[in-house]
Amino acid sequence: MLIWGEQDISLTRDHMDLLSDRLPNTSDVHVIRGAATPTLTHPEQVNLFLQSLD
């Protein structure tokens, strides 16, 4: 699972899409709007994505 923060300046959306294309068994990139570091700034939304793995 790839989770990307819309405001992330260290890793662009293009790079996340490239990872999604090249890594086997990867879903689409999940975007969290307004987040730079989703696990720190938007943990509730990240947890929702992680719970969907069950």
Per residue in 24-45, pLDDT tens? Answer: 998 889 999 999 999 999 999 9
For the four alpha carbons of 32, 44, 10 and 23, in that order, the dihedral sign comes to negative
Cα(6)–Cα(11) distance, integer angstroms: 10
Per-residue pLDDT at 45? 95
Q: How many CB atoms lie within 10 A of CB 34?
A: 11
pLDDT at 2 over 90: yes
Question: pTM of whole model > 0.75?
Answer: yes
